[in-house]
Chain A
Amino acid sequence: MTKQTPLLDVSRMNIVFGGLRAIENVSVQVSEDEFIGLIGPNGAGKTTFFNAITGYVKPSCGEILFDGKSLARKPPSKIANCGISRTFQNIRLFPKMTVLENVSTPMHSTPKYSVWAAMLGLPVVKRVQAETDRRAMEFLEILGLGEHKNRQAGTLPYGLQRRLEIARALAASPKLLLLDEPAAGMNNDECSELIELLREIHKMFSLTVMMIEHHIDIVLKLCSRIYVLNLGQLLAEGTPKQIQTDPKVIKAYLGERRRKA
């Protein structure tokens, strides 16, 4: 664990929805190349934490620094272009687009030619399009989706849809990848496949990954460090071994009453 300037530095973040404190004084530091797990019981605020980093929810107070720059006040699309990419707990693909088109959207989210060039159908449009398709195809091959490139995303089986979502997140060439329950609804075989896949892409793209996951064995196998959230507060932080033996964590998983805010 290098303790230089972290890639993601969240300090004393609070998020309040009406009377509910969804996140209370949470500080998280993620350094480059780390594979971080974020676990906690249901309603602990894990997804809210992701939503805050990606700009869908504005923190009531506290600061989020990414690569040394503050993310406050930036809209989600800008944050995405800074290099943070995510998948969703409930899959959010573009269902009627083909698999290839799904993966290429992050590459052309800001088209490289003007509106006028697009309307006139200048040669540059075709050239950029071909280049984008070629690069998107590479990502599909890496994730083993190459043969499905012309299928409608919505018609893919569930496991492949999850995989496609990861492919799309990678296609944005992010520095930080946020995975929200990538293994949700997967059986054991699919889980071990996923572990291999995530390990590989973590290495191949030298990514920093932060993952929310309920399958504890996946978290233990992949993550170098784990943060535990409970009732909106940071309960523990440490290596998988430390977390497994932490009495507070064990108690939280067995249950505790939420304090009224």
Chain B
Amino acid sequence: MYLQSLAIFACVNMIAVAGLVLLTGYTGIFSIGHAGFMAVGAYAAVISFKYLAVPFLPAIIAGGFVAVLISVIIGYPALRSMMAGDAFAIVMLGFVSVVRISITNIKPVFNASFGISDIPRLSTMSVVLAFTILSVWFMRNFLKSHYGKNCIAIQQQETAAEMVGINVLKTKLIALMISAFYAGVAGGLFSFFATYLAPTNFSEAKSDDLLAAVVLGGINTLSGPLLAAAILVVLPEFLRFLAIWRLVFYGAAFVVIMQFKPEGLMGYREISFKWVGRLYGKVRGKARD
């Protein structure tokens, strides 16, 4: 059970990180408030399940779509005014606080800071695994398509991207919407596993977790951050005795990465399984000899 819950947390983290890879790793927009979208998705899913009697799976998807809606409300004005890099990151930092504080103060339905309890545990291993595989597969396809290439173009040279005819605002907005959807779904799945939903579940620290995975994993790569996301869930479990040092470790890791390998550990590369094939070929060749 312990291992299973660890695996589910890792999967949920991977879904959210897959979304953030598109926004930060490919389009180059830093978001230090992605947990805000997780919170929105989680509350939307749980409330529509508990109060509107929506079945589990549609509720999760609905959570994703509500996160998309919020992302447009936040993102359209912020991205339209050409708020580049840092400014947008700060908008997101404000957003995650606004979400948390608003929910903490809404008594009806949201139950303020007490949170919503008695959520049935419907996020089983198989459900979460299916969601993870599907969302990673969708993201991989998207990143490899021309949409993904346009995102990279914007990240590398925004002026030129605009000059060759890429609608920068639209492309950025699509990236933001998709990544918000992923975060919303991840939030929903998480709360249907934790069975308890409180505003503090998705604090700024959670956003740091997600961003850490992308920064450590690398830019212009999907497999790197996914691996990092899983490791960042599993590793702290083994290093429980160092728990209070976790954020210090993140800070140190950020500094080291930015100093020595600014493109991240796996930047511009995907994890390849070709070596498995080669190894297999070698072993078979030896067996024949």
Indicate whether A and B interact: yes
Interface residues of A (CB under 8 A from B): 54, 56, 75-77, 80-81, 85-86, 88, 92-97, 101, 104-106, 108-113, 115, 118-121, 125, 128-129, 132, 168, 171-172
Q: How far, in whole Å, are A129 and B137 apart by their CA atoms in the complex?
A: 18
CB-contact partner of A94 in B146, B152, B162, B165, under 8 A = B152
Say which residue of B137, B149, B167 sits within 8 Å of A110 (CB atoms): B167
Structural contact, B141 and A96, CB atoms closer than 8 A = no
B145 interface residue per 8 A CB criterion: yes
Chain A residues with CB under 8 A of B163: 54, 76, 80, 85-86, 88, 92
**Which of B153-161, B185-193, B206-214 forms contacts with chain A?**
B153-161
A108 to B165, CA, bound (A): 9
Residue from B144, B148, B164 within 8 A of A109 (CB atoms): B164
Give residues in B with beta carbon < 8 Å to A: 137-139, 141-142, 144-150, 152-153, 156-157, 159-168, 174, 178, 220, 268
Q: Say whether A94 contacts B145, CB under 8 Å.
A: no
The one of B138, B146, B153, B268 in contact with A111, judged by C-beta atoms closer than 8 angstroms, is B146
| CB proximity of B52 to chain A, nearest CB, Å | 26
Asked if B138 contacts A172 (CB within 8 A), the reply is no
Give 20 new A-B contacts, CB below 8 A, not counting A96-B220, A132-B146: A56-B159, A75-B162, A75-B167, A77-B162, A80-B165, A85-B164, A93-B160, A94-B152, A94-B153, A96-B268, A105-B149, A105-B164, A108-B149, A109-B161, A109-B165, A119-B142, A120-B141, A121-B137, A129-B146, A172-B165
Please give me the residue from chain B that is nearest to A84 by CB atom.
B163
Are B160 and A94 in contact, CB atoms less than 8 angstroms apart?
Answer: yes
B165 neighbours in A (Cβ, 8 Å)? 77, 80-81, 106, 109-110, 172
A125 contacts B141, C-beta separation under 8 Å: yes
B175 CB, min distance to chain A CBs, angstroms: 10
A-B contact pairs, 20 of them (CB 8 A): A75-B162, A77-B166, A80-B162, A80-B163, A85-B163, A94-B152, A94-B153, A96-B156, A106-B164, A108-B146, A108-B149, A109-B150, A110-B165, A115-B178, A118-B141, A118-B145, A121-B141, A129-B146, A171-B164, A172-B165
CB distance from A129 to the nearest CB of B (A): 7
List of A residues within 8 angstroms of B159 by Cβ: 56, 88, 92
Please, which residues of chain A bring their CB within 8 A of the CB of B157? 92-95
Tell me the smallest distance from the CB of A114 to a CB of chain B, in Å.
Answer: 10
- A86: chain B residues at CB < 8 Å are 163
With CB as the reference atom, state the residue of chain B lying closest to A56: B159
- Which residues of chain A have C-beta atoms less than 8 A from B138's C-beta? 119-120
B51–chain A nearest beta-carbon distance, Å: 30
On chain A, the residues within 8 Å of B174 by CB distance are 115
CA distance A112 to B156 in the complex (A): 22
> Are A105 and B161 within 8 A (Cβ)?
yes
Task: Check A111–B167 contact: CB distance below 8 A.
Answer: no
Residues of B with C-beta under 8 A to A113: 145-146
Q: How far is the CA of A97 from the CA of B167 in the complex (A)?
A: 19
* Contacting residue for B166 out of A101, A105, A129, CB 8 A: A105
Query: What separation, in Å, do the CA atoms of A163 and B150 have in the docked complex?
Result: 21
